[in-house]
Amino acid sequence: MKIPEIYHEKQVMQLCALHTLNNLFQGNQLYSKTDLDNICCNLSPTEWINPHRSIIGLGNYDVNVIIAALKIKNYDAVWFDKRNDPSCINLDGIVGFILNIPSDCKIGNIKLPLRRRHWIAVRRVENYYYNLDSKLKNPEKIGDTDDVFKFLREQIQQLDHRELFLVYPLNNEKCKE
């Protein structure tokens, strides 16, 4: 069986949102750090300290930046209500999923008492879904439709405030059911 080629950017600085977008759409430099920084400035043009990214400008972009970046390319993200089971999601037309999960802060091997948020892309490539987390060495095969529903269910049932977003093309009525 032929293994599909999967584009996978790895974590650099605090640019997980950038990597998530490029991994989701399977393309190098579909989005750049400059693109996301410009979106931050457009979202808060009069703010001296931009609330949509880290103070020192190394990334750590919020959901507003991701949604604005998606809209530029005619896509949208819809928050998934965790009170529902993921098996209710109509997968027709959905590009993939974006997860926001807590992440430990470390200096070397020392864990700090702080938590940051981390963005992860999940999408189908050919016949299987993959976890395209930029912190992984390689993409992680999740499996078929039943497997991705199980994976998403396990993610959103965690008690650490994980969030799930469905990504779909704008004006795709199939995905809004």
Q: Which long-range contacts (CB under 8 A, 24 or more apart) does 33-37 make?
A: 33/59, 35/69, 35/72, 36/61, 36/65, 36/69
3-state secondary structure of 111: strand
Catalytic residue among 8, 19, 52, 118: 118
| Helix %, strand %, coil % of the chain (to 5) | 30, 30, 45
Marked catalytic residue, from 16, 19, 40, 52: 16
Active site residue 118: yes
- Which tokens belong to 73? 């390319």
Rounded to a whole number of angstroms, the CA Rg of the chain reads: 16
What DSSP element (H or E) covers 72?
helix 63-72
Whether 175 is a known active-site residue: answer no
Which residues are the active-site residues? 16, 118
